[in-house]
Each structure stands twice: as C-alpha cells, then as structure tokens.
Amino acid sequence: MTYLQRNLLSILALVFSLFVLGYVFIFSKSRVAYVDSGKLLGGYKAMVEARKEFEKKQSVWQTNVDSLTKDVTDAIKKYENTAKGTDKEKELAKELVTTKQRQLYEYQNAIKQKAADEEQRLTQNVLTTVNSYLERYGKKHNYRMILIAANGNIAYADADMDITDKIVDDLNKEYAIPVK
C-alpha cells in the first residue's frame, strides 16, 4: 500500500467516523436532558402534601415533648419546694423528677426514630412515583438519559436540556386525576 493510499484510507476512516458521530448526536432522536430535583420536588403537589402531612405529625410530637418538658420542670420545682419536707417526701419528689426526665428522654429518642422513618416513608412513595414517571417520559420522548441535578451538581448544561417545568406540570396533572 502506497503512502497516498494509506492517507486516503485514513481520511476516509476519519470522514466515516465523523459521519457516524454526527448521525448519533445530530440526527438521532435519542436525547439527553436533566431535571432540577429541588425545583421538581418543590413544585410537585404530592411532595408538597407529603411535607405538610409530615409537618403536622412533627407538630404533634413537638407538643408532646413540650408537655413532657413542662412535667419535668414542674417535678423539679416540686422537689425544690420539699426542702422543708420529710426525707420520704424529698425521696419521692426526687424519684418523680428522675422518672419524668427518663420519660422525656425516651420519648425524644423514640420520636427521632419515628420521624426519620415517617419522613423516609412519605418521601419514598413520592420518589417512586417520580422515578416511574421519568422512565415513562424518557421512553416516550426518546431520551437516552435524564439526569437529576441535585444541589447544583451539574456544572453546565444548556437551558434547553432542562425539562423540569414540563415534568412538574405533567406530574401534577397526573396527581390531580383521581385513581379509579
């Protein structure tokens, strides 16, 4: 093979490669897009409602913590007022303080775990729905990939690749339709 033939073959290979790449990226219907997770979850009505439900439960739990804290404070005051009381009264008041403190501590720990579990349950239900929708949407619109931009972890992407608003609108429309 002569020098000219090798160069011509190299040039043809390069042109063919560029054509294939051009076809894949320009003429192909497969696309890439991204969704801003903060904007998506902030605008999706199911997540907004899940957060409200969680906040209501958190409020009840906090009211209970406040009540138990008041019980501890009252028990401490009662203990302090038994300075002139008998040893038996002082011992009973001290036991009451200890019991109330233990109840508060145990309740706070139980609520921390329950809150974490509840938040996980509510969030997971919504995320499962969102992920399922993104998969259906991607297949329907020939996306090869839909990325999730969380906390600004995509350094740069063309604004045309952001499909967040469309996804939020579609999800909210689906959410508004009652399940039969």
What's the whole-number mean pLDDT along residues 70-78? 89
pTM of the model: 0.69
pLDDT band at 79 (very low <50, low <70, confident <90, very high): confident
Is 117 part of a structural domain of the chain? yes
Residue that wins the pLDDT comparison between 101 and 20: 101
- pLDDT surpasses 70 at 29: no
CATH number at residue 58: 3.30.910.20
113/65 Cα distance (integer angstroms): 14
For residue 30, give the amino acid letter.
S
Q: Are 125 and 1 in contact (CB under 8 A)?
A: no
Tokens of 20: 């294939």
Look up tokens 């009662």; give the residue: 78
Read off the pLDDT band of 177 (50, 70, 90): confident
What is the chain's length? 180
Domain assignment present for residue 49? The answer is: yes
pLDDT digits (tens, 9 = 90+) for 9-25: 567 555 555 555 455 55
Q: Which helix (H) or strand (E) holds 109?
A: helix 87-140
Band (pLDDT 50/70/90 cuts) for residue 61 is: very high
Q: How many domains does the chain have?
A: 1
Residue 129, number of CB atoms within 10 A of its CB: 16
Q: How confident is the model at residue 92 (pLDDT cuts 50, 70, 90)?
A: confident
pLDDT at 173 over 60: yes
Between 175 and 16, where is the model more confident? 175
- Containing structural domain, residue 47: 24-176
For residue 16, being part of any structural domain is answered with no
121 in a domain, yes or no? Answer: yes
Residues 134-155 have pLDDT tens digits of 999 999 998 989 998 887 677 7
